[in-house]
Amino acid sequence: MTNSAETQLIENQTPQNYSIIHVENTGTNITNVVFNGTNYDEWARSFQLALLAKGKDGYIDGSIKKPAETATNFPTWRSTNALVTGWIFNSIEPSTRRTISTRPEAKQVWNDIKNRFCQSNDARVYRLQADLLACRQGPTESLMAYYGRITTIWDEMLAFDPLPSCSCNPC
């Protein structure tokens, strides 16, 4: 696709993702998980799920492109981008928020946080394996709570190191 064709496609888009409903504002907390600088994985999953439910996940994953400033849908994109950026900042603990750069686009802010706080796969997998080895049911912990805790570790390990799949045709 040529640049002019891409530009035309972006300018002609008026996706539902651009819309803001009256209850959405920058003061709204869209997740109960507050990022404190150490819980990136939990916060990122919760935040992405909340954005997905609102149809705004494209602002952080890059699938909703910034239109040209002269495009008719630019003001709406700019407003929704500011809303998502506000949600990001409001879901971060104040002491950590002060260390986050203020970028003009939600995707840039999201990537900055990810680059700074997301552990590399190897380090995270090692930590998860250590957590799994140390995981014991506490004396007052219910079986359901213990199972939930250990399942969370297993699920995260699978996300980093998925089970091998067969790639041969006879399967």
Asked if 142 and 79 sit in the same domain, the reply is no
pLDDT attached to residue 93: 93
Asked if 131 and 107 sit in the same domain, the reply is no
User: What residues form DSSP beta bridges with 35?
Assistant: 92
pLDDT attached to residue 69: 93
H/E segment holding residue 160: helix 143-160
pLDDT attached to residue 163: 58
CA separation, residue 79 to residues 42, 60, 108, 120, 131 (Å): 27, 14, 16, 33, 42
Asked if 85 and 41 sit in the same domain, the reply is yes
Answer yes or no: is 170 within a domain.
no
Asked if 48 and 105 sit in the same domain, the reply is yes
Answer yes or no: is 165 within a domain.
no
Answer yes or no: is 107 within a domain.
yes
CB 34 within 8 A of CB 93: yes
- Kindly write down the DSSP assignment for every residue of 70-110, as one continuous string: TSTTHHHHHHHHHHHHHHHHHTB-HHHHTTS---SSHHHHH
Counting the structural domains of the chain, the total is 2
Asked if 41 and 11 sit in the same domain, the reply is yes
Asked if 8 and 54 sit in the same domain, the reply is yes
pLDDT attached to residue 156: 79
CB 11 within 8 A of CB 68: yes
Full residue range of the structural domain in which residue 8 is found: 3-18+25-117
How far is Cα 115 from Cα 101, in angstroms, rounded to an integer?
Answer: 12
Give the tens place of pLDDT for each residue, 28-66. Answer: 788 999 999 888 888 999 999 999 998 899 999 999 999
Give the tens place of pLDDT for each residue, 85-142. Answer: 999 999 999 998 888 878 889 999 999 999 888 866 677 788 888 999 999 999 999 9
Asked if 137 and 102 sit in the same domain, the reply is no
Answer yes or no: is 102 within a domain.
yes
How far is Cα 159 from Cα 113, in angstroms, rounded to an integer?
Answer: 20
Answer yes or no: is 39 within a domain.
yes
The model's pTM is: 0.65
Asked if 39 and 98 sit in the same domain, the reply is yes
Answer yes or no: is 64 within a domain.
yes
Asked if 13 and 59 sit in the same domain, the reply is yes
